[in-house]
């Protein structure tokens, strides 16, 4: 992820409401390009994010799931393929338009809504609650404000309902981390030494960056330390029941390019995936 703007740090702050409008504008602008590039799946989606979320959600046919920040609905459709009904939302009307186009034939299993997850009233008005589970695939680090979502989820979920999310790893893949590799030619062969350089981590901050190289406009990320990210949900009665840092399987390593950036993520976690469960809503 390229860093294109100096990060701004403010202690004890995890929400950045002043960027809500900008985020809608940017995601509307880049949504179609984004979906053209990765809407059919990439290695991170296929090997890390989607199988891990699927395992943690453990959905059963007939379940009803809330998909928050669904984008063009790739994981939405994957869940619907398991016989569950999905109510999916995103703040970008262009992403929802693309999601509806891609969900041709899924009309009986998916309903899409243009909703900003920072808006409590809009969340409360979503039809279909309470849900068996909620999921947010690679969305929280792109969301300027997450407290209203955390506060709304207990009402949106059934008792002991699950919330599963994935994010770019807050330590190894956030706020302009830098990757490097040194190659040493020793008498025993070539030794490769992979390193990550982590910028200040402990304060939440916002910065502009790119998730896909070449994207037409940088979008805004919201870096939050892992403890802050989990605390906002745990304060609402959620317990953390699983935390995963999925690894590329050997098969993916064989298939993937031998470039340094490809190999880097065999040694460090690209993604963090969590399952939270409501204790007593």
Among 59, 117, 229, 273, binds ligand SAM (CB under 6 A): 117
- Strands 85-90 and 110-114, how do they pair? parallel
Q: Are 126 and 152 in contact (CB under 8 A)?
A: no
**Interior CA angle at 71 toward 142 and 145, to 5°?**
30
Q: Where would I find the beta strands (DSSP E) of 187-237? A: 189-197, 205-209, 219-223
Among 15, 16, 47, 90, binds ligand SAM (CB under 6 A): 90
Q: Around Cβ 216, how many Cβ atoms within 10 Å?
A: 11
Does position 99 interact with ligand SAM (CB under 6 A)? The reply is: no
Minimum CB separation from ligand SAM for residue 27, in Å? 4
Does position 91 interact with ligand SAM (CB under 6 A)? The reply is: yes
Candidates 132-140, 176-184, 235-243, 273-281: pick the segment binding ligand SAM (CB under 6 A): 132-140
- Of 214, 208, 272, 218, nearest to 5 by C-alpha is 208
How many residues sit in the footprint of ligand SAM (CB under 6 A)?
Answer: 20
- What order do you get walking across the sheet with 8-9 strand by strand? 8-9, 205-209, 219-223
Of 200 and 213, CB closest to ligand SAM = 213
For 258-277, the three-class secondary structure string (H helix, E strand, C coil) is CCHHHHHHHHCCCEEEEEEE
User: Burial of 135 by CB count in 10 Å (0-12 exposed, 13-18 middle, 19+ buried)?
Assistant: buried
Candidates 8-16, 58-66, 138-146, 187-195: pick the segment binding ligand SAM (CB under 6 A): 138-146
Among 77, 103, 129, 139, binds ligand SAM (CB under 6 A): 139
Q: Are 160 and 131 in contact (CB under 8 A)?
A: no
Of 71 and 154, CB closest to ligand SAM = 71
Does position 44 interact with ligand SAM (CB under 6 A)? The reply is: no
Does position 209 interact with ligand SAM (CB under 6 A)? The reply is: no
Among 48, 63, 66, 71, binds ligand SAM (CB under 6 A): 71
Does position 16 interact with ligand SAM (CB under 6 A)? The reply is: no
| Structure-token match 């840092």, residue found | 245
Q: Are 209 and 141 in contact (CB under 8 A)?
A: no
Does position 48 interact with ligand SAM (CB under 6 A)? The reply is: no
Candidates 71-79, 122-130, 178-186, 229-237: pick the segment binding ligand SAM (CB under 6 A): 71-79
Non-local CB neighbours of 133 within 8 Å, separated by 6+ positions: 57, 59, 63, 65, 66, 157, 161, 162, 163, 164
Per-residue binding letters, 157-196, with ligand SAM (x by CB under 6 A): ----------------------------------------
Minimum CB separation from ligand SAM for residue 215, in Å? 11
Does position 69 interact with ligand SAM (CB under 6 A)? The reply is: yes
Rounded to whole angstroms, how far apart are CA atoms 24 and 27?
A: 5
Residues that bind ligand SAM (CB under 6 A): 23, 27, 69-71, 74-75, 90-92, 95, 116-118, 137-139, 142-143, 211
């Amino acid at each position: 992820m390229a860093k294109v703007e100096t990060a701004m740090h403010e202690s004890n702050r995890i929400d950045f409401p002043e960027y809500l409008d900008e985020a809608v504008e940017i995601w509307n602008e880049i949504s179609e390009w984004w979906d053209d590039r990765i809407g059919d799946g990439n290695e991170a989606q296929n090997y890390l994010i989607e199988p891990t979320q699927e395992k943690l959600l453990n959905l059963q046919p007939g379940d009803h799931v809330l998909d928050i920040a669904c984008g063009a609905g790739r994981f939405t459709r994957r869940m619907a393929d398991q016989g569950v009904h999905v109510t999916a939302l995103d703040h970008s009307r262009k992403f929802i338009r693309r999601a509806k186009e891609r969900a041709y034939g899924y009309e009986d299993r998916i309903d899409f809504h243009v909703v900003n997850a920072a808006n409590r009233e809009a969340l409360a008005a979503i039809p279909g609650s309470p849900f068996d589970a909620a999921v947010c695939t690679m969305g929280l680090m792109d969301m300027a404000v997450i407290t209203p979502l955390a506060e709304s989820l207990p009402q949106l979920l059934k008792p002991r309902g699950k919330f599963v999310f994935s994010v770019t790893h807050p330590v190894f893949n956030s706020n302009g981390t830098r990757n490097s590799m040194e190659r040493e030619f020793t008498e025993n062969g070539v030794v490769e030494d992979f390193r990550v350089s982590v910028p200040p981590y402990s304060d939440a901050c916002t910065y502009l960056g790119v998730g896909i190289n070449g994207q037409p406009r940088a979008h805004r990320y919201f870096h939050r330390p892992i403890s802050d990210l989990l605390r906002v949900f745990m304060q609402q009665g959620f317990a953390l029941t699983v935390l995963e840092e999925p690894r590329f399987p050997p098969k993916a390593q064989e298939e993937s390019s031998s470039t340094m950036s490809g190999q880097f993520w065999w040694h460090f976690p690209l993604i963090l995936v969590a399952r939270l469960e409501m204790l007593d809503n």
